[in-house]
Amino acid sequence: MTYLDTSHRHPDMTSMMACAHCGERFKKGEALYNRMRKEKPELFVREKPKFEPSEKLKEMHGQLVDRVKHDTAYRDHLYKSQYGTIEEQNKEADLANSGFFKKNGDYRGIRIL
């Protein structure tokens, strides 16, 4: 927005508006902005980025859900990691980082986590 590039420096919007030089330009900029919004509303429509999970991600999610259903130790781990005390959370993080859940648990399905 070139109207706002006034070459003045103001600490905030309020003092900028109070400045004769900037306030004037700000108003022009605002008027231009409002006019554009009215005349070309399509320019102001932001497309929301769509989240499309990849096949790989869907597969990982499926496996995770499956493991949580069948592996009680892992379920317990996730629960404590999320809702446990700080000590429990730290302990679970250490366990996970040591690869404990890659080797242990009663889940016999494919392990990716």
> Contact between 8 and Zn ion (CB under 5 A)?
yes
Question: Least Å distance between CB 37 and Zn ion?
Answer: 25
> With binding defined as CB under 5 A, does residue 26 bind Zn ion?
no
Q: Could you say whether residue 27 binds Zn ion (CB under 5 A)?
A: no
**Cα 97 to Cα 19, 23, 46, 56, 91, distances in angstroms:** 57, 57, 40, 22, 10
Position among 1, 21, 35, 109 found at the interface with Zn ion (CB under 5 A): 21
Contacts of 83 (CB under 8 A, 6+ apart): none
- Contact call for residue 22 and Zn ion (CB under 5 A): yes
Report in angstroms how near the CB of residue 26 gets to Zn ion at its nearest: 9
Instruction: State yes or no: residue 28 binds Zn ion (CB under 5 A).
Output: no
Q: Verify binding: residue 19, Zn ion, rule CB under 5 A.
A: yes
DSSP 8-state code for residue 84: S
Total residues in contact with Zn ion, by rule CB under 5 A = 4
Number of Cβ atoms within 10 Å of the Cβ of 67: 21
* 74, burial (CB in 10 Å: exposed 0-12, middle 13-18, buried 19+): buried
Instruction: Give the binding site for Zn ion (CB under 5 A).
Output: 8, 19, 21-22
